[in-house]
A = this chain, B = another copy of it.
Amino acid sequence: MSYSISIERTSALKQKPDFSQLGFGKYFTDHMFIVEYDDGEGWHDARIVPYQPISLDPAAKVFHYGQTVFEGMKAYKDAEGKVALFRPFKNLQRLNRSNDRLSIPAIDEGLALEALKQLVTIDESWIPTEEGTSLYIRPFVISTQAALGVSPSEKYLFMIIMSPVGAYYREGINPVSIYVEPQYVRAVPGGVGNAKTGGNYASGLKAQEEASDKGYSQVLWLDGVHRKYIEEVGSMNVFFKLADKVVTPALSGSILDGVTRDSVIQLLKYWNIEVEERAISIDELVEAYRNGTLEEAFGTGTAAVISPVGELNWQGERLILNGGQTGPLAAKLYGFVTGVQRGAVEDPFGWLLKL
């Protein structure tokens, strides 16, 4: 099947930033993809155009009722200059699951993939190649109908923008200190915690700010019902190494089904390391820490890939993990996954989609 995507190239390419000082999500490439939805007409007018502001009525539903979804994925360039996307199908499938939860009409995943390929190809010169850098890709849907009734929008925009990003941690990976959040709750079963929608991120800002004031990088979220089971760390999934096995919270409905989470589980099984997806209480972790079996903790997500945890603060008790250093398992996972991503390590799972 072929998709019709019109292309308008920019007449003035932007000056590129210093690729050794990128940070995260600060600079955007020369072009963007956009396709519109109207009730009765479906998705229409798919196009790649110069990166530019969008103009919306101030009554557009996105400004009032938060009916949005998004995805995050990355493109890489290998040593030979070949471009690849990391598991884009997983992200597009999840985008449609998020759409369904937020009452947004489904995207044609074939069209979205074609748009991704064309957009990345057009802005290929924006893919940084320094170790740890990549081209971050942000597909997102916003509701644009200008009407204040609380109901699903009759109009949407699906867009893709792209940003060259630096290594999340300048020297590879470094452990972060995490505050186990006793007061605020991210999501609860029956809510939208397993959808990638703006409200989940807005609701976490306050806890993140307060943890930061206490000297912590992020919070570890506990579940909203029992206030004791582990959910996510910041906006990442989380794993714990307990002696001879690795545990991670099961997909309970209130946490995100992370693509990196899935990749890490696949990889652990490939390495014959036992991995359990199940409920994990903070009490279990504290006990494991005290008896010396909590060896490592790390977050997983598209932005940082693997983010080792050096400390957990639970009600004032500081649990220092692996001496506050990056653990061997986190380092091995980081090396393998980022190696596959940049084409330096063989890809046994077919994760890369080469363009």
Enumerate chain A interface residues (CB-CB to B < 8 A): 23-26, 28, 32, 51-59, 62-68, 70, 101-103, 136, 138, 140, 142, 146-152, 159, 161, 163, 183-192, 197-206, 208-209, 224-225, 227, 234-235
Contacts and interface: CB of A to CB of B under 8 A. Distances in A.
A198 B25 contact: no
Nearest to A51: B58
B64 A205 contact: no
Contacts of A32: 58
A138 B64 contact: yes
Query: Which 6 pairs of residues, A with B, have the shortest CB-CB distance?
Result: A199-B199, A25-B148, A66-B198, A185-B190, A66-B202, A65-B201
Contacts of A138: 59, 64, 148
Given A65-B205, A150-B205, 16 more contacts: A23-B149, A24-B148, A28-B59, A58-B161, A59-B163, A64-B198, A65-B198, A65-B201, A65-B202, A66-B197, A67-B205, A103-B209, A152-B209, A184-B191, A185-B188, A197-B199
Contacts of A149: 23-26
Nearest to A153: B205
B198 A59 contact: no
B26 A63 contact: no
